[in-house]
Structure 1
Amino acid sequence: MLSDAERKILRILFNYSSGRRRLPSMHELTIKTGRTKQDITSTLLSLERQGFIEWPDKQHVQSICIIKGWEDEDKKKPNRSTSSNIDYWTQY
Protein backbone atom coordinates (compact mmCIF):
# COMPACT_ATOMS: atom_id res chain seq x y z
CA MET A 1 0.00 0.00 0.00
CA LEU A 2 1.33 3.41 -0.94
CA SER A 3 2.00 6.16 1.56
CA ASP A 4 0.29 9.51 1.08
CA ALA A 5 3.44 11.08 -0.38
CA GLU A 6 3.96 8.18 -2.81
CA ARG A 7 0.33 8.29 -3.92
CA LYS A 8 0.43 12.07 -4.38
CA ILE A 9 3.61 12.05 -6.46
CA LEU A 10 2.40 9.13 -8.56
CA ARG A 11 -0.88 10.92 -9.29
CA ILE A 12 0.99 14.12 -10.20
CA LEU A 13 3.25 12.18 -12.59
CA PHE A 14 0.28 10.39 -14.13
CA ASN A 15 -1.82 13.55 -14.53
CA TYR A 16 1.06 15.50 -16.05
CA SER A 17 1.85 12.74 -18.51
CA SER A 18 -1.76 12.32 -19.62
CA GLY A 19 -2.86 15.96 -19.55
CA ARG A 20 0.25 17.84 -20.58
CA ARG A 21 2.01 15.09 -22.53
CA ARG A 22 5.16 15.53 -20.45
CA LEU A 23 6.44 14.80 -16.98
CA PRO A 24 6.93 17.56 -14.41
CA SER A 25 10.38 18.87 -13.58
CA MET A 26 11.85 18.45 -10.11
CA HIS A 27 11.07 22.12 -9.45
CA GLU A 28 7.42 21.60 -10.40
CA LEU A 29 7.23 18.56 -8.13
CA THR A 30 8.59 20.57 -5.20
CA ILE A 31 5.96 23.25 -5.80
CA LYS A 32 3.07 20.79 -6.23
CA THR A 33 3.96 18.62 -3.23
CA GLY A 34 5.48 21.14 -0.85
CA ARG A 35 8.32 18.70 -0.19
CA THR A 36 12.07 19.01 -0.56
CA LYS A 37 14.06 17.62 -3.47
CA GLN A 38 15.52 14.92 -1.19
CA ASP A 39 12.05 13.83 -0.04
CA ILE A 40 10.81 13.63 -3.62
CA THR A 41 13.89 11.69 -4.72
CA SER A 42 13.47 9.14 -1.93
CA THR A 43 9.75 8.81 -2.72
CA LEU A 44 10.51 8.26 -6.42
CA LEU A 45 13.07 5.59 -5.51
CA SER A 46 10.46 3.91 -3.33
CA LEU A 47 7.94 3.97 -6.19
CA GLU A 48 10.58 2.42 -8.42
CA ARG A 49 11.29 -0.37 -5.90
CA GLN A 50 7.57 -1.12 -5.68
CA GLY A 51 7.26 -1.36 -9.47
CA PHE A 52 5.11 1.69 -10.15
CA ILE A 53 7.72 3.54 -12.20
CA GLU A 54 11.01 2.98 -13.98
CA TRP A 55 13.65 5.66 -13.53
CA PRO A 56 16.76 4.83 -15.59
CA ASP A 57 18.43 8.27 -15.46
CA LYS A 58 18.26 9.37 -11.83
CA GLN A 59 19.46 12.88 -12.72
CA HIS A 60 16.34 13.76 -14.74
CA VAL A 61 12.74 13.31 -13.65
CA GLN A 62 11.69 13.42 -17.31
CA SER A 63 13.26 10.00 -17.86
CA ILE A 64 10.62 8.34 -15.63
CA CYS A 65 8.37 5.76 -17.25
CA ILE A 66 5.09 5.13 -15.43
CA ILE A 67 4.28 1.43 -15.23
CA LYS A 68 1.18 1.58 -13.03
CA GLY A 69 -0.68 4.82 -12.41
CA TRP A 70 -2.50 3.63 -9.30
CA GLU A 71 -2.71 0.87 -6.75
CA ASP A 72 -4.58 -2.36 -7.38
CA GLU A 73 -8.11 -1.87 -6.10
CA ASP A 74 -8.62 -5.52 -5.15
CA LYS A 75 -5.77 -5.31 -2.62
CA LYS A 76 -7.32 -2.37 -0.78
CA LYS A 77 -10.96 -3.42 -0.54
CA PRO A 78 -12.24 -6.35 1.46
CA ASN A 79 -14.05 -9.00 -0.52
CA ARG A 80 -17.79 -8.67 -0.16
CA SER A 81 -20.13 -10.82 -2.10
CA THR A 82 -23.75 -9.87 -2.19
CA SER A 83 -26.13 -12.40 -3.53
CA SER A 84 -29.21 -10.21 -3.68
CA ASN A 85 -30.57 -6.84 -2.68
CA ILE A 86 -32.00 -8.33 0.52
CA ASP A 87 -28.43 -8.65 1.86
CA TYR A 88 -28.21 -4.90 2.12
CA TRP A 89 -31.17 -4.77 4.48
CA THR A 90 -30.27 -7.79 6.55
CA GLN A 91 -26.48 -7.58 6.85
CA TYR A 92 -25.65 -3.90 7.03
Structure 2
Amino acid sequence: MLDDSERKIHRILHNYSVGRGRFPSMQELMIKTTGKSEKDITDTLISLEDKLFIIWDDKRQVESIKLLQGWEQQLRSEAFKPSDNLDYWTKY
Protein backbone atom coordinates (compact mmCIF):
# COMPACT_ATOMS: atom_id res chain seq x y z
CA MET A 1 0.00 0.00 0.00
CA LEU A 2 1.25 3.45 -0.87
CA ASP A 3 1.69 6.25 1.63
CA ASP A 4 0.13 9.67 0.96
CA SER A 5 3.06 11.23 -0.89
CA GLU A 6 3.57 8.12 -3.05
CA ARG A 7 -0.12 8.01 -3.89
CA LYS A 8 -0.22 11.72 -4.74
CA ILE A 9 2.81 11.59 -7.03
CA HIS A 10 1.56 8.38 -8.63
CA ARG A 11 -1.81 10.00 -9.37
CA ILE A 12 -0.09 13.10 -10.79
CA LEU A 13 2.01 10.90 -13.09
CA HIS A 14 -1.04 8.94 -14.20
CA ASN A 15 -3.20 12.01 -14.79
CA TYR A 16 -0.47 13.82 -16.73
CA SER A 17 0.19 10.81 -18.94
CA VAL A 18 -3.50 10.33 -19.71
CA GLY A 19 -4.50 13.98 -20.00
CA ARG A 20 -1.43 15.48 -21.62
CA GLY A 21 0.23 12.50 -23.24
CA ARG A 22 3.45 13.11 -21.33
CA PHE A 23 4.91 13.00 -17.84
CA PRO A 24 5.45 16.15 -15.79
CA SER A 25 8.86 17.71 -15.37
CA MET A 26 10.48 17.88 -11.95
CA GLN A 27 9.49 21.54 -11.73
CA GLU A 28 5.85 20.67 -12.46
CA LEU A 29 5.94 17.92 -9.82
CA MET A 30 7.33 20.39 -7.29
CA ILE A 31 4.44 22.76 -8.03
CA LYS A 32 1.77 20.04 -7.97
CA THR A 33 3.03 18.59 -4.69
CA THR A 34 2.79 22.02 -3.05
CA GLY A 35 6.42 22.74 -2.47
CA LYS A 36 7.99 19.32 -1.89
CA SER A 37 11.71 19.45 -2.49
CA GLU A 38 13.37 17.78 -5.45
CA LYS A 39 15.01 15.30 -3.05
CA ASP A 40 11.64 14.37 -1.49
CA ILE A 41 10.11 13.80 -4.92
CA THR A 42 13.12 11.79 -6.09
CA ASP A 43 12.98 9.62 -2.97
CA THR A 44 9.26 9.05 -3.51
CA LEU A 45 9.80 8.14 -7.18
CA ILE A 46 12.50 5.65 -6.18
CA SER A 47 10.10 4.16 -3.64
CA LEU A 48 7.42 3.84 -6.34
CA GLU A 49 9.98 2.09 -8.52
CA ASP A 50 10.91 -0.28 -5.69
CA LYS A 51 7.21 -1.14 -5.25
CA LEU A 52 6.91 -1.80 -9.02
CA PHE A 53 4.51 1.03 -9.82
CA ILE A 54 6.93 2.72 -12.23
CA ILE A 55 10.15 2.12 -14.14
CA TRP A 56 12.60 4.99 -14.01
CA ASP A 57 15.70 4.13 -16.02
CA ASP A 58 17.13 7.63 -16.50
CA LYS A 59 17.07 9.19 -13.04
CA ARG A 60 18.09 12.57 -14.48
CA GLN A 61 14.74 13.01 -16.25
CA VAL A 62 11.32 12.52 -14.74
CA GLU A 63 9.94 12.42 -18.27
CA SER A 64 11.64 9.02 -18.80
CA ILE A 65 9.32 7.30 -16.31
CA LYS A 66 7.09 4.45 -17.46
CA LEU A 67 3.97 3.58 -15.47
CA LEU A 68 3.53 -0.10 -14.70
CA GLN A 69 0.30 0.22 -12.69
CA GLY A 70 -2.33 2.91 -13.08
CA TRP A 71 -3.64 2.53 -9.52
CA GLU A 72 -3.17 0.47 -6.41
CA GLN A 73 -4.28 -3.14 -6.79
CA GLN A 74 -6.02 -3.17 -3.42
CA LEU A 75 -8.07 -0.10 -4.27
CA ARG A 76 -9.05 -1.52 -7.63
CA SER A 77 -10.34 -4.76 -6.18
CA GLU A 78 -12.37 -2.92 -3.53
CA ALA A 79 -13.77 -0.40 -5.99
CA PHE A 80 -15.10 -3.02 -8.40
CA LYS A 81 -16.39 -5.50 -5.86
CA PRO A 82 -19.51 -7.15 -7.26
CA SER A 83 -22.66 -6.73 -5.26
CA ASP A 84 -25.83 -8.78 -5.21
CA ASN A 85 -27.77 -6.03 -3.35
CA LEU A 86 -28.26 -8.38 -0.40
CA ASP A 87 -26.78 -5.73 1.90
CA TYR A 88 -29.66 -3.42 1.14
CA TRP A 89 -32.23 -5.92 2.32
CA THR A 90 -30.31 -7.23 5.32
CA LYS A 91 -28.66 -4.12 6.74
CA TYR A 92 -31.09 -1.24 6.10
TM superposition score normalised by structure 1? 0.83
Partners of 1:43 and 1:76 in 2: how far apart? 24
SS at match of 2:16: helix
Measured on the aligned residues, the alpha-carbon RMSD in Å equals 2.2
Number of residue pairs matched?
Answer: 89
Deviation, structure 1 residue 76? 7.0
**Which residue of 2 is the match for residue 43 of structure 1?**
44
Deviation, structure 1 residue 5? 0.6
- The runs of 5 or more residues in structure 1 that have no matched partner are none
Change (3 A) 1:88 1:24: same
**Which residue of 2 is the match for residue 21 of structure 1?**
21
Which one has a bigger Cα radius of gyration? 1
SS at match of 1:14: helix
- The runs of 5 or more residues in structure 2 that have no matched partner are none
TM superposition score normalised by structure 2? 0.83
Partners of 2:40 and 2:74 in 1: how far apart? 26
**Which residue of 1 is the match for residue 90 of structure 2?**
90
